[in-house]
A and B are shown apart, each in its own frame.
Chain A
Amino acid sequence: MNPADAMQAAPAIDMSLFGLFWQAHFVVKIVMVGLLGASIWCWSIIVDKTLLFRRTDAEMDAFEEAFWSGRSLEELYRSYNDRPAKGLAAVFVAAMREWKRSFEGSGRQVQSLSQRIEKQLDVTIQREVEKLESRLLFLASIGSAGPYIGLFGTVWGIMTAFTSIAASKNTSLAVVAPGIAEALFATAIGLFAAIPAVLAYNKLQASVAKSQSRLEGFADEFSAILSRQIDERLSLAA
């Protein structure tokens, strides 16, 4: 075919980002918009979680300092009980509450107190970790599914591109290329969303594991302290 004919047959292609988006097929548009939304959501999670973990770390540091400063447990409990506690403080408050409750009233239910406190600690730790971990799974799913979604858009776009090639009865590269470029744009967006999601998921997951081990370490230590106290009281009572 004549190059001149090919030029006539090939419509002028706007290769700008907006042009690529606007010329795409409806399905591909939906995929692109969805992936863009996923990217926004991923980044919002990343930002939130990063801030949250920084805050949690700071709070844990501050609580540990206060805990090992030699103040009495009663005093600590009173100062942390007023406000909604987080992290180590939440664990400490939960255990102390159970402790207080056991010594309140007439009956002293000290026999299985240490068991109860440990259960309470476990539950609290689980709750705290869940709070830290929440929404991280979304990052994981975007990280794994994003490229596939983009690929779906690409395949769809290439299908429509080939259909239009068949319609224009022209095999010149000028006709084929824009459709494929347009379609590949969907994969590009998918990767754009997925790559930061995967990286951030791994990083945040590591942070969560670190916080969890820290919580568990503190819980073990604290339950050891409490069980010593209980044993002392039991021996006093007996």
Chain B
Amino acid sequence: MRFPKPSFDRSEPGVWVSAGTHVALLALALFAVAAPALPNADEGVPVEVLTEQQFSELTRGERNAEKPQEKPNKADRVSEKVEDREPENAKVDKPAPPTRPAEMKVASVDEIPLRAELSETVKEEAAAAAAKAAEAKAEKAAEVKAAKAAEAAAKAEKAEAAKRDELQKLVEREEAEAVAKEAAAKEAAAKAKAEAKAKADAKAKAEAKAEAEAEAKAEAQQKLAEAKAKAEADAKAKADAVAKARAEAAAKAKVKAMAEAKAKADAEAKARKQAEMADKFNAGDIKELLANKAPSQSTGATGREVQRTASLGTTTGNAQKLSPSLRDALVGMLQQQIERCYSAPPGAAQGVILPMLDIKLNADGSLTSEPRILRSGQNAVDQSIAQAALRAVRRCAPYKIPSQYAPYYNDWKAINAEFEFSRV
């Protein structure tokens, strides 16, 4: 291999051509082909790392539960106080009636449609009808009244005129007496003359008076007659006007009264509502409200006894499965223990089909429920063998199960296995 000479060889320009091309390409790539701006690094899927403990807690529970517990005991701790209810009391606490929160105290009162209002409108209409009737009556009554009033007025005028006359007379008499007295007092010396004169004067005066009286009477009578005529005419007109005015006034007054009554009724209703609500208001409202706002600090429910089984699951429910070898070993162990209690039925030699037993175990190795035969042969020997095995299972009941199986309890709490026992 020859390395290129530093000088330019015309017959072999390859190195220079190639180097030049590469440099040009690189320069082009560097400057012309700019790198596309990368978008901001956003994580597409937020990844959260779970510890194994957290995962097992997540997946905890019984997977093949048949149905939820009927009476779920939700207690996490034993309660300090034991609440014993009287037997006559309900099994369940009655839920407290929903109370109105304190915030909506008055604002909603106006919005509550009042029933009174409805009846009020009906009443109003009735009242209006009544008012019309009343108006009509009032008009009639007014006319009658007006007539009566006119008569009364006329009588009153007469009476007044009579009184006035009497008064005048009285005044004149008094004056006259007064004058007479003065005269008597002042002109005591000249009694005789004065008496005569006075008598004469008095007579004259009395005559004058009588004349005046007569004149006044006449005039009064004239006036009265005129007044009567006028009054009768006027009275009719006035009576109409007055009656109308009165009717209107009465109607107005009624409407006003009704409006006032309504307002009063509303106000009363409001006041009653508020009073009721004020009565209903209890401190529990505030307490509940505050409890709502505060962060929950529950440390779990309390009850008479602590719930051992998780809802639809168990506290050991990590869903661990027995490996086949572990399962075999367990079944072997059980078989060994059962075999000790097993006594073969007579003539069990011909047993063909091994009995399959369903054994339900507690965590401590005791039987949860009666063992069952899942499958056995049809002939008598097979069945007797199966029954003998069942008896043996019952007799040996608390089984010793090594603690290493404890985490797998879910898997071995129900064991369905074939057992083969030696004919002892």
Chain A interface (Cβ within 8 Å of chain B)?
1-3, 6-7, 10, 13-19, 36, 39-49, 51-52, 55, 134-135, 138, 171-174
Contacts and interface: CB of A to CB of B under 8 A. Distances in A.
A51 B1 contact: no
Nearest to A137: B1
Nearest to B22: A40
A17 B29 contact: yes
Contacts of B11: 51-52, 55
Contacts of A44: 4, 14-19
A3 B12 contact: no
Contacts of A15: 35-36, 38
A6 B26 contact: no
Interface in B1-43: 1-2, 4, 11-19, 21-22, 26, 29-30, 33-36, 38, 40-43
Given A3-B46, A47-B14, A17 B41 contact: no
Given A43-B21, A134-B2, 5 more contacts: A10-B41, A43-B14, A44-B16, A47-B13, A47-B18
B108 to A, nearest CB: 46
B314 to A, nearest CB: 34
Contacts of A7: 40-42
A17 B26 contact: yes
Interface of B: 1-2, 4, 11-19, 21-22, 26, 29-30, 33-36, 38, 40-44, 46-47
Given A16-B34, A135-B2, A174 B43 contact: yes
A51 B30 contact: no
15 contacts: A1-B43, A3-B41, A3-B43, A7-B40, A13-B38, A15-B35, A16-B34, A17-B30, A43-B14, A44-B4, A44-B17, A48-B15, A52-B12, A55-B11, A134-B1
Nearest to B21: A43
A16 B31 CA distance: 9
Given A44-B4, A45-B14, A18 B46 contact: no
A10 B22 CA distance: 33
Contact of A1 (B15, B29, B47): B47
A19 B35 contact: yes
A40 B24 CA distance: 12
B50 to A, nearest CB: 13
Contacts of B47: 1, 171
B35 A14 contact: yes
B41 A172 contact: yes
Nearest to A19: B35
- Closest 8 CB pairs between A and B? A174-B41, A48-B14, A43-B18, A44-B14, A47-B14, A44-B18, A16-B35, A44-B15
B30 A36 contact: no
Contacts of B1: 134-135, 138
A19 to B, nearest CB: 7
Nearest to B23: A40
Residue among B11, B14, B35, B46 having the largest count of chain A Cβ atoms under 10 Å: B14
Contacts of B15: 40-41, 44, 48
A36 to B, nearest CB: 7
A18 B14 contact: no
B19 to A, nearest CB: 5
Contacts of A45: 14
